[in-house]
Structure 1
Amino acid sequence: MKALAIGDLHGNVALALDLAQRERPSILLSTGDWGDPGQVAAANMERLTGVCYVLTVYGNHDDLPLLASLRNADGSPVLLAGRREVSGLSVAGISGIWAKSHRQPHYVTDEDVDAAAAEVAGGGPVDVLLTHGCPIGVCDQTSSGRHGGQRCFLDAAERIRPRLHLCGHLHLAQHRSLRDGRQVANTGFGLRGDYCIIEWADGAPRVAFFNAAQ
């Protein structure tokens, strides 16, 4: 089973479509930031869902009404809330970026993330967790070398304990294997060509990073 993981495309939907056509994954997993309203055409997203099954969370640069309207070929929503069983995988998603208020539609508070994590964790084991924000101290390095993650996403991952946690937002591809065998990967900067191919062998994900511009 093969998945294509990508995020922070910021309008570069053509890359996702090209990779989906070339790699022919069973599923495309996105950590959000497809592009602001006006950057992403509905027709291009519909072409993508015609090639492969798509699951995404939203970030702080997304056309939320568009993502909410998109459907896969089987009629299921592209925008993931909670958890879903797809191609033998249990995939969960928590959208948004951390904030102390709800002044923007993409803001989520500590309480929002905690409630979402509790709901997901109550449903049993999770293979993949998708978030836009990053867990603090894990795959949250910025280009300046600082940490850009948040405690709420770390706590959510500890509660859900997915085999693989995919995050984005910071535009820097990175990967870490934890002591208990779980893995965390930041999908990097899709606008500049970053993406991951994930293959499962005996239930364990193998993550490989690539850059389409190289």
Structure 2
Amino acid sequence: MKLVVISDTHGLHRSLNLPSGDVLIHCGDITMSGQLDTVRDFNDYLKDLPFRHRVVIAGNHDSCLERSIRSSKSALTEAVYLQDEGVTIDGIRFYGSPWQPPFENMSFNLEEGALGEKWKMIPRDVDVLITHTPPYGILDVNSKQEHQGSTSLRAELEKISPKLHLFGHIHESRGSICTGNTKFVNAACCDENYCLKNAVWEIEL
């Protein structure tokens, strides 16, 4: 199975150069300022892409998707929208969650205690975990050299050890690293100035 992974496109999705693949995954921040029109345009864009499956979560910029799961799913009819839930594709177990530590009074913010309860919902047998936030200490450093990831997510990952953890959020730390049995990928497409400069990720499972 070939995954094509993107994140933090901030309304610039039509400028992406996407390779073909089996599953397209977006790790959140579809919009710049939470515009529902941008989400609808992204949904229209998905229609013509050469993927058998499309999996999407929200990010802190996507305030229009925070109001209700039902309205989010109705706006993203061309994808499987995941909010604290999973989907199995060709035997591969995916799970998606949009939450993050408090960040500039934006959407999907939770304190670490509440985040910990969200992460406990992740199935122990998950193969591919999709979050918007990085775990603390892994591809989560901003331009001020501060760690922005979730400490409770890092603790939970020590218990579940997925094959692949995909996220974005911290544009400056785009990259990949393998720790233990897990490959971590920060797939942010925009740089810290919100310019679309980064290539998409292609991952074979």
Amino acid of the structure 2 residue aligned with 1:31: C
- 1:154 is paired with a residue of what secondary structure? helix
TM superposition score normalised by structure 1: 0.76
Alignment counterpart, residue 77 of structure 2, candidates 71, 75, 93:
71
C-alpha deviation, 1:177, in angstroms? 0.9
Residue 176 (structure 1) aligns with = 177
- 1:3 is paired with a residue of what secondary structure? strand
Give the alignment of 1:143-158 within 5 angstroms.
Answer: 143-158=143-158
Q: List gaps (5 residues or longer) in structure 2.
A: none
Amino acid of the structure 1 residue aligned with 2:34: P
> Is 1:15–1:193's contact at 8 Å kept on the other side of the alignment?
no
Task: Report the identity percentage.
Answer: 24
C-alpha separation in 1, matches of 2:47 and 2:111: 31
C-alpha separation in 2, matches of 1:160 and 1:144: 31
> Is 2:88–2:94's contact at 8 Å kept on the other side of the alignment?
yes
TM superposition score normalised by structure 2: 0.79
Residue 192 (structure 1) aligns with = 196
Q: Which moved more, 1:37-46 or 1:89-98?
A: 37-46
Change (3 A) 1:111 1:4: same
Q: List gaps (5 residues or longer) in structure 1.
A: 201-214
C-alpha deviation, 1:43, in angstroms? 3.7
Q: Greater strand share, 1 or 2?
A: 1
C-alpha deviation, 1:49, in angstroms? 4.2
What are the Cα deviations for residues 63-113 of structure 1, in whole angstroms up to 9, with x where unaligned? 3166432123xxx7423432210133111112122139xx86522232433
What are the Cα deviations for residues 184-209 of structure 1, in whole angstroms up to 9, with x where unaligned? 11112345232211112xxxxxxxxx
C-alpha deviation, 1:50, in angstroms? 4.6
C-alpha deviation, 1:41, in angstroms? 4.9
> Is 1:33–1:59's contact at 8 Å kept on the other side of the alignment?
yes
> Is 1:7–1:33's contact at 8 Å kept on the other side of the alignment?
yes
